[in-house]
A and B are shown apart, each in its own frame.
Chain A
Amino acid sequence: MKMARINAQEAESIFRGLCRTYKIIAPVAEKGKGAFSGADLLTYGEVGSFGEIEFFKKTHFSAKSVVSPVRETLFEFRKGEVREASQDALPVIIFLRACDINAMAVTDAHFLQGGREDVYYKSHRRCAKFFLMECARPFENCFCVSMGANKTDAYSAFMRKVDGGYEVGVDDEELKKYFPQKGEFEGEPRFAEKDARPLAVPDDIAASIFGHDMWKEYSQRCIACGRCNTSCPTCVCFSIQDVACDKEQGTWRRKRTWSSCQVKNFALLAGNHDFRVSKGDRMRYKVLHKIRDFKKRTGVHMCVGCGRCDDVCPEYISMFRCVEKINEIAARGER
């Protein structure tokens, strides 16, 4: 693609032009807010300049809250009247790596296909443009190549941080006017070509794995905190609740919030019937969804190999290692 080299000053001037129309969401390092003393929290946030963007570290959280908010109003009830919540989302630019852009394709398949379109997701998604951030090398715990999520062409622009400035290529006609036409050269984003450790994703998984002892380990280790689900770019399960806004005025909202299959009561039925009570069962439910069930339904793997679940687990449980164990059991012919 045609690319331009811009210095830091030019970049910030371009930024000021963009942010008149777009909210810009990108990886940021929140100083000192990490899990450990002195560590930064690597997350997604709204930035006030390109200089604030963290280009070289992997975030713990994905950008999924832009298209699938943690909490979102679906309907408002006021004095017996029901009103659909407004679906006007603001235009937004999100800086994403290839795995996360592929994760957006996964959530698109979930929310927009099957003949039932989620209007709320659509309104957020429609307003989002992606700026690709390249991965010259995989990070620790990444296995995007094994999941087929290391490459993408579904982006509006590509930006690379270099000494003294940035190199940028813009595909989107609407965005071209914000960027200079000078100094153009041919360039392409670099994608990860090889995982640090490759993962063999099984084509199908025998039902006999359900009763295997391997899941007992997770029953012992997992504390059901749900961090794996919150940091995963393709976990989008939710619950719906009616909450009071102003009981005197009689205003209520029907809201949806993120829900985690690893946390207690995800499957609890009225009358106290429950499913997947053991954490090992919940781990099996999640892992098989990511590497088998979703693909069976849509043709695409749900897991994009970003490795965030492995990064953030407080008990150091590794989904990567879990899939390796499934493969080892299948290879040994165990039931």
Chain B
Amino acid sequence: MTENIYAGRPAEILEKRKQTDTEWSFLLRAEIQATPGQFVIVSLPAVGEVPISISGFKPHAVEVTIRNIGKVTSHICKLNPGDALYLRGPYGRGFPLEAFKDRHLLIIVGGSAIAAAKPLVEHVLDSHQGSVVRLDVLAGFRSPRHILFHQELNQWKKKCNVVLTVDNDEDYAWMGSTGFVVSFIKDVRRLGEETRVVLIGAPPMMTNSVRELLRCGVREENIYLSFERHMKCGVGKCGHCRIRDKYVCVDGPVWSYQEAKELID
């Protein structure tokens, strides 16, 4: 019998970790073979489905990080360890890990996009196969209370160069950098023709960052973006995520800028 591409598999919540007032990370029991940059569709029967980036891998488990922003996500965020939901996937084309090997890799993330980049950072820092010559992480958030993965960011600082910045430091006793993440690009050491860049964030942030990276000598084919679009099926059938002749769920979400600049919407 043909496999049903819309059917999910049960996934029990093993752990739930609060990130901010509106975001939680869930560790789900699942046997999923995926690579950094791929996503799953989290499915809650009688509520709905949402596409969520995989934010971490553990043996027999995956981590997803969810923002309470709509009907489905508000239901998911009320669940606790022991509750079950359904997963289908992994879907999409992840980051081209081979292209980063033995290179200078710069990862630029805006806001909750750090969730999609986290498996890539962990792959590079924790595995021998993922080794790069140099890793720089540039992470920007709206304010200190919007920062995700505090613990992980502190761990990463011990192993590579991390610039953590906020757009607005509000009333907090914020000792870190302030300013849009784009303004820190030019200060990345050894940034140039040989640098591979992974860039994920809201469209205006990605547009401005690409402009700045090109100005700093980074090559178009070495900049990798991860797209986000409204999705219903995740398998290239419903049409919602289509841009020209490409489906973000099947052909993306990761594209080099050389390919991505043709994807005008």
* Chain A residues in the interface with B (C-beta under 8 A): 74-75, 77, 82, 84, 110-111, 114, 116-119, 122, 207, 210, 236-242, 244, 252, 254, 256, 259, 261, 266-271, 273, 275-276, 281, 285, 288-289, 292-294, 296-297
Please tell me if the beta carbons of B46 and A77 are within 8 angstroms of each other in the complex.
Answer: yes
**Contacting pair B239 A259 (CB below 8 A):** yes
> A116 and B237: CB pair below 8 A?
yes
Question: How far in angstroms is the closest Cβ of chain B from A195?
Answer: 26
- Report B190 CB to chain A, min CB distance, Å: 33
Q: Does B2 contact A (CB under 8 A)?
A: yes
Closest chain B residue to A241, Cβ basis:
B48
Query: Of A210, A254, A266, A292, which contacts B240 at CB under 8 A?
Result: A266
Given contacts A118-B5, A270-B70, A293-B245, contact A239 B45 (CB under 8 A): no
Known: A117-B2, A293-B245, A296-B245. A240 touches B238 (CB 8 A): yes
**Is residue B73 contacting chain A, with contact meaning CB distance below 8 A?**
yes
**Within the complex, which residue of A118, A242, A289 is in contact with B242, where a contact is CB–CB below 8 Å?**
A289
Q: Is the CB of A271 within 8 A of B45?
A: no
Given contacts A267-B230, A275-B265, A276-B265, is CB(A238)–CB(B238) below 8 Å?
yes
Q: Indicate if the CB atoms of A207 and B264 lie closer than 8 Å.
A: yes
Residue of B nearest to A285 (CB): B265
Residues of A within 8 A of B173 (CB): none
CA gap between A183 and B4 in the complex, in Å = 48
In the complex, chain B residues 232-265 whose Cβ is within 8 Å of any chain A Cβ: 232-233, 235-240, 242, 244-245, 250, 262, 264-265
Given the contacts A239-B240, A293-B244, A294-B245, A270 and B45 also touching, CB distance less than 8 Å: no
Contact-size category for B = 35 or more
Contact of B46 with A239 in the complex, beta carbons under 8 Å? no
Contact B2–A119 (Cβ < 8 Å): yes
- 26 A-B residue contacts at CB 8 Å? A74-B6, A75-B7, A75-B45, A114-B250, A116-B235, A118-B237, A237-B238, A238-B233, A240-B49, A240-B233, A241-B48, A242-B47, A242-B48, A254-B6, A254-B45, A256-B238, A269-B230, A270-B50, A271-B69, A273-B228, A275-B229, A288-B244, A293-B245, A294-B245, A296-B245, A297-B245
Q: Is the interface of A mostly helix, strand, loop or mixed?
A: mixed
- Within 8 Å CB of A252, what residues of B? 45-46
Given contact pairs A84-B7, A116-B5, A259-B239, a sample of 8 additional A-B residue pairs in the complex whose CB atoms are under 8 Å apart: A114-B250, A117-B2, A207-B264, A237-B238, A242-B46, A256-B238, A270-B69, A275-B229
